Amino acid sequence: MDQGVISTFKALYTQHIMEQLIEGTDGEGKPTIREFWKKHYNIRKAIKNISDSWEATTQQNMNGVWRKLWPECVHNLVGFP
């Protein structure tokens, strides 16, 4: 069940990190990639990325993995909260 959720979460987490890495190192006068990892990326940013990645996991993704395990609990109502 969790293979789909874990792979989606890892992809979103990696995307967040890469966006921060590019933003933090792209341009003149910015730190190198090594300096970014040593001085500018910390536990607070990692926890924020974890939170953002989990929030970005969609209901469709969760329904897809639950459908395989417990199909009775998944409703295919599109457009309704």
Whether this prediction's pTM lies above 0.95 is answered by: no
Spell out the domain ranges in the chain: 2-73
In whole angstroms, give the CA distance from residue 70 to residue 40.
Answer: 43
Continuous H helices in 1-81: 2-25, 33-35, 43-56, 59-69
What's the rounded mean pLDDT across residues 18-23?
A: 96
In whole angstroms, give the CA distance from residue 67 to residue 70.
Answer: 5
pLDDT digits (tens, 9 = 90+) for 30-64: 999 999 999 999 999 999 999 999 999 888 888 87
